Amino acid sequence: MVDTVSLVPEARSLPRLAGAVSGQAPSRLRAGLVVTRTPLRVSFAGGGTDFAGFYEQGEGAVLSTAIDKYVYVTLKRHDALFGSPIRLNYSETEQVETVNEIRNDIARACFGLLAIEPPIYMSTVADIPASSGLGSSSAFCVGLLNALHVWRGETVAAAQLAEEAAHIEIEALRRPIGKQDQYAAAYGGFNLYRFLPGGGVSVEAQRFAPGVRRQLFEHLLMFWTGIGRQAPDVLAEQSANIGERRQELSSLRRQAGELHLALAGNFHPEAFGRALDEGWRRKRRLASTISNGRIDGWYERALAAGAWGGKLCGAGGGGFFLFAAPQAKHRAVRAALGELKELSIQAEPQGSRVLMPHVE
């Protein structure tokens, strides 16, 4: 069943959206401080079908959930006492005179899209390391855009945040990525995203049979491999292989729809876990850099310890491992992966939120 459907226009019109949200000039901030919180995500099936190279030839579909791990963005009016009118704190610190001098690609593009004028201070912090496969780059982009709109005195819908972020990452910065992460960060919740020819996206809220959401998460385990990978390197090869891997991608799309229906009806945790295993084995064929001997070794150890199946989150090559396993086997799986750190997760129902909206 479909709870919510939002059909979004193509991103190429986006540069005009920023200055036309309300048809009025942005209002002044009561206090020069804005804070946003944007969730990360875990995708279960369909990854890779959110690339334009696939969905323009036939619909893509991704089943994913936002999780209770976040990227926080803070904007503050920067006082002239600090010298440089623009200061950014993330994994690095930047102090520059103009927007064009900003080294952080996403920050520079977001500031440019919304015509932000200094002085301004931006900082960001996340609950998990970067390059971990949970969509942190897109969460940062969505969270920063959300904060900048509030800075301008504007309120925008999740659909606009998702499309602006996709425009920045895919079109402006030319990153070889799909559109699922921007939508998961903006919308939150547990959804089936359908990526349509022409660039439209439908967002179908996941319905759960009674008790199924709790049952699902009780059978999931997440482990940090300690390997931070560069998603663009993995995804560039995957994107280049779309033509010859269309059959595998079509199977992943179909699996996303099947799991979407299973969660709403006669859910069986073991069948869900076996589907993760099937999807992972198909995904590994999409690019040579998705897995390696070390990753395969961890995966086989988890299965030998009783897990039904699992997958690397995100592009692959490292990041977080997700497994589905009988609760009675959780201790054995943890022991088999004893060198990896476990991360406890729950679903996050909300997308990017403004925590401190001091706007007149």
70: buried, middle or exposed (CB in 10 Å: 19+, 13-18, 0-12)?
buried
Q: How confident is the model at residue 25 (pLDDT cuts 50, 70, 90)?
A: very low
Which residue matches tokens 């990452």?
Answer: 169
Task: Identify the pLDDT of residue 32.
Answer: 77
254: buried, middle or exposed (CB in 10 Å: 19+, 13-18, 0-12)?
middle
- The answer to whether residue 109 scores a pLDDT higher than 50 is yes
- The answer to whether residue 205 scores a pLDDT higher than 90 is yes
Q: How confident is the model at residue 81 (pLDDT cuts 50, 70, 90)?
A: confident
Task: Identify the pLDDT of residue 318.
Answer: 82
Q: How far apart are CA 353 and CA 2, in angstroms?
A: 24
Task: Identify the pLDDT of residue 1.
Answer: 35
Q: How far apart are CA 356 and CA 274, in angstroms?
A: 43
- The answer to whether residue 108 scores a pLDDT higher than 80 is yes
7: buried, middle or exposed (CB in 10 Å: 19+, 13-18, 0-12)?
exposed
- Please compute the mean of the pLDDT values over residues 208-235 and round it to a whole number: 85
Give the C-alpha distances (Å, rounded to integers) separating 97 from 11, 78, 88, 114, 148: 30, 12, 11, 17, 18
Which residue matches tokens 């500031």?
Answer: 111
Q: How far apart are CA 147 and CA 143, in angstroms?
A: 6
Least-confidence region, from 91-100, 156-165, 315-324: 315-324
Q: How confident is the model at residue 291 (pLDDT cuts 50, 70, 90)?
A: confident
Q: How far apart are CA 135 and CA 155, in angstroms?
A: 24
Task: Identify the pLDDT of residue 238.
Answer: 60
Tell me the percentage of the chain whose pLDDT exceeds 70: 86
Task: Identify the pLDDT of residue 128.
Answer: 92
> What tokens were used for 342?
């476990």
Q: Is 0.85 surpassed by the pTM of this model?
A: yes
CATH 3.40.50.620, applies to 11-207 = no
Task: Identify the pLDDT of residue 332.
Answer: 98
Q: How far apart are CA 315 and CA 230, in angstroms?
A: 9
Q: How far apart are CA 295 and CA 229, in angstroms?
A: 12
Q: How confident is the model at residue 314 (pLDDT cuts 50, 70, 90)?
A: confident
Task: Identify the pLDDT of residue 292.
Answer: 87
Same topology, domains 11-207 and 212-342? Answer is no
> What tokens were used for 327?
């609760």
Task: Identify the pLDDT of residue 8.
Answer: 41
Q: How far apart are CA 297 and CA 148, in angstroms?
A: 44
Cis bond before residue 176 (omega within 30° of 0): no
Mean pLDDT of the chain: 87
Tens digit of each residue's pLDDT (9 = 90 or more) over 216-227: 999 999 999 988
**Domain 212-342 superfamily per CATH:** GHMP kinase, C-terminal domain (3.30.70.890)
Is 84 within 8 Å of 139 (Cβ atoms)?
Answer: no
Q: How far apart are CA 147 and CA 324, in angstroms?
A: 36
Task: Identify the pLDDT of residue 23.
Answer: 34
Task: Identify the pLDDT of residue 236.
Answer: 66
- The answer to whether residue 293 scores a pLDDT higher than 70 is yes
- The answer to whether residue 20 scores a pLDDT higher than 80 is no
- Please compute the mean of the pLDDT values over residues 287-314 and round it to a whole number: 91
Q: Where are the domains of the chain?
A: 11-207, 212-342
Q: How confident is the model at residue 68 (pLDDT cuts 50, 70, 90)?
A: very high
Q: How confident is the model at residue 241 (pLDDT cuts 50, 70, 90)?
A: low
Task: Identify the pLDDT of residue 176.
Answer: 87
Task: Identify the pLDDT of residue 237.
Answer: 62
Task: Identify the pLDDT of residue 19.
Answer: 35
